[in-house]
Copies of this chain bind each other. A is one copy, B any other.
Amino acid sequence: MDGSRAERKERTRQAILRAALRRLEDRGFAALSLRSVARDVGIVPTAFYRHFPDMDELGMALVTESFASLRVMIRAARQESMAPGDAIGRSVRVVVRHVHEHREHFRFIARERFGGVAALRRAIGWELRLIVSELATDLGRFPYLERWSADDLRMLAELMVNAMISITDAVHSLPPGQPEAEAEIIGTAEKQLRLIVLGVPHWRGAPRDGGAPRPAAD
């Protein structure tokens, strides 16, 4: 056991976060007990209080950590989408890779987004709305989208974020080590995003680019 007292304390704190995420593999946060976390870390239950005032604060720390992870992914996906070529395909693969590498973070967000703890639902909802706003701003720089209203950009961003969320759900709901099932998920996700993008030039008939008729399918 080396390191200063502060370093060792930080290490225990990290161990608590790791143990909690591991325990959350098959249970919701509401069903996670302080004692089970302490047991996994190898400390006595009362030592938990040296790091968090209660379980709710542990939950909030997990939200913070999980969204830090999500934002790393978004930054990577954004870079892929700005390079020329198959932007959608590369973005989707970035998402899938990150979901694999940080399964626990994404599962935590997915599960607690509508989970049993109101404080976590609120915090996660807030963060997701922020991400939608940021994507809406980004989208405003793409062809056809420069003249869209802020509202419509948000609408589109929301649609895309929802599509991405359902990819992450699909990815971590399949058992590990099924490359062909995963390839299918990736394929479907790409198609969905392509279909959405396909509608963009025809939105409200704004751009004068050939005047395809509005579909009769509505």
Contact = CB atoms under 8 A, between A and B. Distances in A.
Nearest to A109: B114
Contacts of A218: 86-88, 194, 197
Given A110-B114, A209-B212, A197 B194 contact: no
Nearest to A111: B114
What 4 pairs between A and B have smallest CB-CB spacing? A28-B116, A198-B199, A199-B199, A212-B212
A75 interface: no
A216 B143 CA distance: 7
A217 B144 contact: yes
Given A203-B195, A210-B213, A218-B87, A188 B118 contact: no
A166 interface: yes
B197 A217 contact: yes
Interface string A180-215: 000000001001101111111111000001111111
7 contacts: A30-B30, A116-B116, A144-B215, A155-B188, A156-B195, A158-B188, A199-B200
Contacts of A159: 163, 192, 195-196
Interface of A: 26-31, 86-88, 110-111, 113-118, 121, 125, 142-145, 152, 154-156, 158-159, 162-163, 166, 169, 173, 188, 191-192, 194-203, 209-218
A199 B195 contact: yes
Q: Is the interface of A mostly helix, strand, loop or mixed?
A: helix
Contacts of A198: 198-199, 202-203, 214-215
Between A30, A143, A145, A213, the greatest number of chain B beta carbons within 10 A of the residue's beta carbon is seen for A30
Contacts of A31: 28, 30-31, 116
A203 B87 CA distance: 18
A143 B210 contact: no
Given A30-B27, A30-B31, A173 B143 contact: no
Nearest to A162: B166
A42 to B, nearest CB: 25
Contacts of A27: 30, 116
